[in-house]
Structure 1
Amino acid sequence: MPRFAANLSFLYGEHAFLDRFAAARKDGFAAVEYLFPYEHTPALLAEHLREHGLQQALFNAPPGDWAAGDRGIACVPGREAEFRRAIEQALEYAAALQCPRVHVLAGLLPAGAERAPLQALYVRNLAWAAQRAADAGVNLLIEPINRRDMPGYFLNRQDHAHAIVDEVGAPNLQVQMDLYHCQIVEGDLSAKLRQYLPTGRVGHLQVAGVPDRGEPDAGEVNYAYLFELIDALGYTGHVGCEYRPRAGTTAGLGWLRALSPRGS
């Protein structure tokens, strides 16, 4: 059975953020992820991880001004210095949290912009960031995201993400494969998993029901089948539970309890 990580930005919204660590551990999760850690000090987050025996599986590098609409700045011209500061901050948190991977959001296509120069900038920024992350022993991830949830996002397809990884050529740059986004954009999930997991370039998986982004137990994706396939393909990383519970997090974990009485 895959190793599941609770996404604390999506799950346990009935609790204050710092109380979600205990709630996840109580439900049997051994690992957590979340969008951004930067509202809390690294020391405080590390203390909660230690207290509850949790591994930090993933978080995102600073995305720019999220409240103002930024969704990453890696492909955005004129913000290279800000991008480098963001990577340095993310690596400081990764060290404190003993987190082996950080997701770098690409950003939105500026109105009227041509893709080619943005991709060239994106590749340059990722190459620099991957080298800094390699020095720190951290893997960087890029994630295709569907444009229904994030209109205008630069990176949408698995083949594009893998082409970027090839172009950068850094062994610690990998793809974060969210099966929810992949289903919306491309479908054919079992074929995509068979194509990409054996390459070793998928550093993290995430799941949610489609189309409602609820628990992975309803909708158009047969996750029970995909979890068996993920095991059969030899994937040993974490699978992030990045979904919106339909009626309370713990009440909605029947899908996980059915896989294992331990829940993780």
Structure 2
Amino acid sequence: MSDRALSFGARAEAYERFRPGYPDRLFDMVAAYAGHPLRTALEIGAGTGKATRLFARRGIVVTATEPDGAMLAELRKHVPAHVTAVRAAFEDVRPGERYGLVYAAAALHWTSPEGRWARVAGLLEPGGVFASFGGPFRPADPAVEEAVRAARAPFLESDEVPSPDGTPPEHTMQWPGTELQRSEWFTDVRQSLIERHLTLSARDYVGHLSTISAYLVLPAAARRQVFEQIARALPERIELTADLTVHLARRRAEG
């Protein structure tokens, strides 16, 4: 795992405070795609359980895996009793029980590409569903977005995670859909967008940035400086687009 992948634990409480939850329409989209009741799920990189809560409160028995102990401890404070929380990287999850759903919420890009899809397939029932979803926060006002970019530029060229397989942003199908389409294990690959619009105070927006890996791996002094620069560039309240790109695929039935 990269330094960025392992950078979140020190900010577990901030992650819980400043990262938003997931909307009910995301669950509805996954359930409609499945076409039958989903009873069990394995979550990859559960963090503090933002997505865990969405699926668990709709009656799914979720096994939430997370490699960072601090993040997992925060998760345990917030999830229902029928959630099983396991400290493990996805690569350390051993095949055994199979699930109706395997999903990752803004976490799949931290997993190792080597054997990724065979591992996912090995954890799914035949015909089971894989879901991955996430997306960046961006100021809706182009002038505010440019002000943030200019304030960040001396420290970071970008604070987003680049496409793991190099797919250009203008392509219709984005990662991981690109890999799923090529995988022997999956079929019926779909990509959808759920539009989200949020309004945050400048302070909460900087708090959100403080949970993003690109900033977390900066030296402490640089991190303080970049947040001060960004805060000075912001209006009191910021309108944000926080759209979720959702990828769904079905595990091929075993022949």
TM-score between the two structures when normalised by the length of structure 2: 0.31
Larger Rg: 2
Greater relative contact order structure (CA < 8 Å, 6+ sep): 2
TM-score between the two structures when normalised by the length of structure 1: 0.30
Question: More strand by proportion, 1 or 2?
Answer: 2
